[in-house]
Amino acid sequence: MVEAPEPTAPEDLKAIFAEIRPALPRMAERMCKNTADAEDLLQDVFLHALDRGVPPQVRNIPAWLTTCLHNLFIDRCRSIKRRPSHEPIHRIQDNLTQLEPEGPEPEWRNITVSDIRDALEAIEPVYRDVYRLHTFEDQSYDQIAERLATRRVTVGTRLNRARKKLREILAARFGLETRS
Question: What are the pLDDT digits (tens) for 39-63?
Answer: 999 889 888 888 888 888 888 888 8
Q: What is the pTM of this model?
A: 0.43
Task: Compute the distance between CA of residue 149 and CA of residue 88 in angstroms, rounded to an integer.
Answer: 55
Whether pLDDT at 134 is above 60: yes
Higher pLDDT, 51 or 133: 133
% the chain with pLDDT above 70: 81
Are 149 and 117 contacting, i.e. CB atoms less than 8 angstroms apart?
Answer: no
The set of residues, in sequence order, having a beta carbon less than 8 Å from that of 155 and lying 6+ positions away, is 130, 134, 141, 144, 145, 148
Higher pLDDT, 150 or 24: 150
Whether pLDDT at 2 is above 50: no
Higher pLDDT, 152 or 25: 152
Whether pLDDT at 165 is above 60: yes
Structural domains of the chain sorted by starting position, each given as residue range(s) with its CATH number in brackets: 10-81 (1.10.1740), 109-174 (1.10.10.10)
- Rounded to the nearest 5°, which phi and psi values hold at 33? 65, 25
Q: What is the CA radius of gyration of the chain?
A: 37
At residue 89 the predicted structure's pLDDT band, cuts being 50, 70 and 90, is: low
Confidence (pLDDT) at 17: 76
